[in-house]
Structure 1
């Protein structure tokens, strides 16, 4: 069965993997792997998973985890650059780290910080840590974020990447029911071209996209 890719809207998609819980399809155009729409979690079930997260800026382990995105992005932005942490979660931490480094930050999260007014402003950089894999409409959402950046602005995305089909079948990342789309390096290369950006991969889970 061919489904429409939620990133690039291609219908050139095919079966990639299945397990006892869900099916996974892969787009032949942008290489995104995705769960069919009818197998995504309901809003209440999705929120229940998010409410279990216990992330906090007081947790040094969580800060170390986020440093995989924070460190390379911090090296590429100007002093005082203004940022948005998109999908900040119940315990915003990446925004705190940037603020501590002298960068004014706004936060947005549809569950925990739902002020959509922040999405009508422009930013020098935007972060999306462990967010992309949750997006039901990643093409629409990521294009919207790119539109909030000026030329030279950065979009920093941290999400674990698909490597191959055999590894995918054993991957713990697919066990989370709120993970519904899965990016590979090829997916980010397609995305960068589509959004008129260039992409770097400074760490295995990190993609940095800069607007031309």
Structure 2
């Protein structure tokens, strides 16, 4: 067990002295995972985070086809409850759209305007200077190296009444964490519990909706 001075601050809530949760293999390396006692985030030790090149190499292996019915059904788990909270003609942003933008296409087909942003594949900084009625963030939050900064940015981009929709696998079974397939993706570095989203909602005065497992909707009053 590392000494207190070696324990990193939480990258979400910045509470000092997170506890070592476990050490687990990742390829040919061993990674240290820490757990924050305040917001319940589990995260990779900062010194062991992947480089941008390593992340992109992993992302480039993904094959997200906008015409794939199975992929669309997966994304609809977020799109459907999010659309139910939107006014007609709402405008949005798909944050972290990846190399094959699909969710924005689904929103446009449903009558909503939606732009694509991704720091690697669709990097238009101007999109981060506007405000939106909704922001979708599917299978992205687990990649955040500085989730506190990322969620602060996302909530600033919301108009009053706007909704941030997040889809990421929740960490529910601590004893199975080392064997969990979701952890084994080398680009996944942050893992959330429902309590973590409760903390996020309280921190930024958002209304939290949990319509289904792995889905969190955070709405500005």
TM-score normalized by the length of structure 2: 0.94
Contact 1:124-1:153 at 8 Å conserved across structures: yes
Which residues in structure 2 correspond to 1:99-178 (within 5 Å)? 99-178=108-187
Is 1:8 the counterpart of 2:13? The answer is yes
Residue matched to 2:194: 185
Match of 2:31 in 1: 22
- How many residue pairs were aligned? 212
2:104 corresponds to which of 95, 102, 105: 95
1:27-81 superposed Cα distances (whole Å, 9 cap, x missing partner): 0010000001111111111110111111021111100110110111111111110
- SS in structure 1 of the partner of residue 20 of structure 2: strand
Larger deviation, residues 12-21 vs 85-94: 12-21
Does the 8 Å contact 2:170/2:191 carry over to 1?
Answer: yes
- Distance, in Å, in 2 between the alignment partners of 1:77 and 1:173 is 30
* Cα RMSD for the two superposed structures: 0.9
Corresponding position: 1:33 with 2:38: no
Whose strand proportion is higher, 1 or 2?
2
Runs of 4+ in structure 1 over 3 Å off: none
Given that residues 12 and 29 in structure 1 are in contact (C-alpha distance below 8 angstroms), is that contact kept between their aligned partners in structure 2? no
